[in-house]
Amino acid sequence: MKKSKSISEKRLLGIAGLGWMFDAMDVGMLSFIIAALKIDWDLTPKEMGWIGSVNSIGMAVGALLFGLMADRVGRKNVFIITLLLFSVGSGLSALTTSLAIFLVLRFVIGMGLGGELPVASTLVSEIVPAEKRGRVVVLLESFWAAGWLIAAVISYFIIPTFGWQAALILGALPAFYAIYLRINLPDSPRYLTLKEKQKPTALEGVKTVWSKKYFRETAVLWILWFCVVFSYYGMFLWLPSVMIMKGFSMIKSFQYVLIMTLAQLPGYFTAAYFIEKIGRKFVLVVYLTGTAASAYFFGTTDTLWVLMTAGAFLSFFNLGAWGALYAYTPEQYPTSVRGTGAGMAASFGRVGGILGPLLVPYLSAQGYSIHVIFTVFCISILIGAAAVFFFGKETRAKELA
């Protein structure tokens, strides 16, 4: 039987979190870059929407492909491959001068990003003890907020002066350091103790995830992932552009989104506290309901202070819910299919990430107001909260199967 090197929780969190942070920097900067590309390349709203959607198509493919691979070749190997894909794609995208090539590279970046996130949370879940597992995974997710904050700062100070290309290069270079750190990261001891005959083929893994034994868990996760990803990418990729639509300049819009983004960190930290004190279902239902209310008010007002307040609460609740989602997902399955189950749920969710960014320009072109569009996102989030409330199982402090 293979033995895994031990690693402290802080070091594990730091190494995994760095990659998570660089991924978030890329996604965060993309929302600002889309607004800048509109001016540089004279993009239509539909072309802008496709940039976000192609990214999500790549994430859907990556989550499925690398989730399946994680159960065959190990969590650590997939962890390194996905970050390498993301880093190289992000660096090359800074050099492109055409929308077509930019979209191809966004697909590659999306594959790396979509594959890394569920595999990272699976790896951390399998190493950390049950009583700390939820809190540590939510804290891992909090690196996403740090990445978004850095993205907002880079976008505010770099893009208007030096261009979006400089922002992409700044985001890609540090990610190579994270790859170096991961080479010494141990693989999951739970995975390493699996005998070869216990590792299912891709088809066997898919069948197990949708078997009668796990049908309820899988159905809840797929609904939850779709609703959360659909609303998140529909709203957050368009936040700077929505602020511009509401009459603010690009510089002012970037500044306001930066301020709203600050609320993500307390959202994560409070979720990390409640997830072990009260439970996963409580955090998911309460924080998703808070997200829905914030989305409604953000969409219905043009008053600056209401926009800022609603936007801050939107960041607070939505990102806290994301942390709980990543903690909750790997806990639904046994080790032999944990990567497959988490990857498939994330992959289906990314279909929502394809549709969400396209919905905004499509409905806008049909004459619908931002109010109507954000109400659609509000309803989507409430459906996800209802699925967890009525059918989800609580997994707080339970040992992984």
pLDDT score for 264: 81
- Whether this model's pTM surpasses 0.85: no
CA quadruple 129, 183, 144, 390: dihedral positive or negative? negative
Q: Under a CB-based contact definition with an 8 Å cutoff, are residues 308 and 294 in contact? A: no
Domain borders along the chain are: 9-186+203-391
**Counting beta carbons within 10 angstroms of the beta carbon of residue 5, is it exposed (0 to 12), middle (13 to 18) or buried (19 or more)?**
exposed
**Does residue 37 contact residue 48 with C-beta atoms inside 8 Å?**
yes
pLDDT for residue 87: 83
Q: Which helix (H) or strand (E) holds 380?
A: helix 370-391
Rounded Cα distance, 251 and 258, in Å: 11
pLDDT in tens, the chain (401 residues): 344 456 777 888 888 888 788 888 887 788 788 888 888 898 887 888 788 778 888 989 999 999 899 888 888 888 888 888 888 888 899 898 889 999 999 999 999 988 888 888 888 888 888 788 888 888 888 888 888 788 878 888 888 888 888 888 887 776 677 677 677 778 888 887 876 667 778 888 899 999 999 999 999 999 999 999 999 888 887 777 777 777 777 667 777 777 887 888 898 889 988 998 898 999 999 999 999 999 999 888 778 888 889 889 998 999 899 989 988 998 999 988 998 999 999 999 988 888 887 888 888 888 888 888 889 999 999 999 999 999 999 887 676 66
Give how far Cα 3 sits from Cα of 15, 146, 244, Å.
20, 33, 55
The class (CATH top level) of 9-186+203-391 is mainly alpha
